Amino acid sequence: YRVFNAEYESIDTEKELENAIENSPELLFEQPVTMLARQHYIFTEEKDRHIVDMVFFDQEADEIILVELKRGKLISDHHHQIRRYIENAPKSGLLKAFLEKGSSIRGVLATVEDCTLDTGDSNVSVCIVDRNKAIRVLKGLRDRRLSEI
């Protein structure tokens, strides 16, 4: 019983951050977006499997947005990671359909930690998610689950 009533004080896992963003995409985006997938597989030419944390579509901009979440500070390796996802996106059946229709694609690196990473890449942006807002979303989700018990 105590665990159910414990207050969220932090974002402990990427999954928690995913849950918060799925339920409140405005934590990441100013414009309306539609979530297409979570934990989406993309394969490379070498058949290596990569998992994109979240995939969104911005209908107004006709743009696919690949989101890579990190709990800690962002580093240049994370930029290289999302670039691989973008470069291999046409190998995904889901993403290929959008790209063949002319949709553009970009990446977002997101964390709840302060960071100064500058990707120097117009196709990859950095977003610092407001930790307190994300925690409020998680509390709301928990409260809804508890009210259904």
* Burial of 71: CB neighbours in 10 Å, binned 0-12, 13-18, 19+: middle
Strand-pair partners of 9: none
pLDDT for 103: 97
Residue 28 CA, chain-centre distance (Å), reads 8
Token pair 């470069």: residue: 87
Which sign, positive or negative, has the C-alpha torsion 34, 136, 112, 31?
positive
C-alpha gyration radius of the chain: 16
From first to last of its 149 residues, what are the pLDDT tens digits of the chain?
445 555 556 777 889 999 999 999 999 999 999 999 999 999 877 778 899 999 999 999 999 999 999 988 999 999 999 999 999 999 999 999 999 999 999 999 999 999 899 999 999 999 999 999 999 999 998 888 887 87
pLDDT for 1: 43
Count how many residues are written for the chain: 149
pLDDT for 18: 95
CB atoms within 10 A of CB 145: 10
* Burial of 114: CB neighbours in 10 Å, binned 0-12, 13-18, 19+: exposed
Cα distances (angstroms) measured from residue 90 to each of 7, 15, 27, 47, 100 = 42, 26, 27, 14, 8
Tell me phi and psi for residue 24, to 5 degrees: -140, 75
